[in-house]
Structure 1
């Protein structure tokens, strides 16, 4: 069971990012949220901070026009790299772990095209682009883990 401190951190981070994404969706400019393998998190419009935990952490969570969008990350506490990312878009769950991508518990190969999302190689990165929102998630694998993940509200 999660400690009360962890629950407060998760709630605080969720509120921080909820505020940032709501203002990002109401503006026409490009906004970017980063998280790096070192544990640094750079919110859309705020000061970067360091977070060192191996518990699942909500990077982003909001609902826009009845569509829920949520991203959680889990880090390898020894390396700081991200070992698991769960991206939920309109109740469709994508899991990135061990260098593999699963959509609704089925391993997929790239490019992957779905009604709500498109996942494809983007140079040395992998990108998930929402087809129902102007949001994209891009990440870079180092072995089976991720050293850089970022979200943009417009590409």
Structure 2
């Protein structure tokens, strides 16, 4: 199963494409506002509004052999802890070896942003075609590996 943290996810169409190729079910989880897919293997899950409701829904269900698509580091950590794999929208895989460092970096950056009320310093890099291509390659590799296991 592929679980997608679908709020503001730029690669939903790519997930559906890879899932269709391998016959894998998909759960697009959000607080609402996404268009349901016409594909029968894609379930649109609308969770109640609230902080991290979609994350909780995914974390309660994901397990070994599953893939999570998310940009949320704490959700990725919970997925890895449950035996699943996780990937960012740009194709960077979260791993058991790197998740601790990524959680620490996330917390550090939150502290830096809180200390800089004028928000100087820019933001995330724009999402581009290379990110989309790398995501497709990584997701394809993860789904094939999960099928082998």
TM-score by length of 2: 0.29
Q: Which has the larger radius of gyration?
A: 2
**Which one has a larger percent strand, Structure 1 or Structure 2?**
1
Kindly indicate whether structure 1 or structure 2 has the higher relative contact order, using CA contacts under 8 Å at least 6 residues apart: 2
State TM-score, norm by structure 1.
Answer: 0.28
| Greater percentage in helix | 2
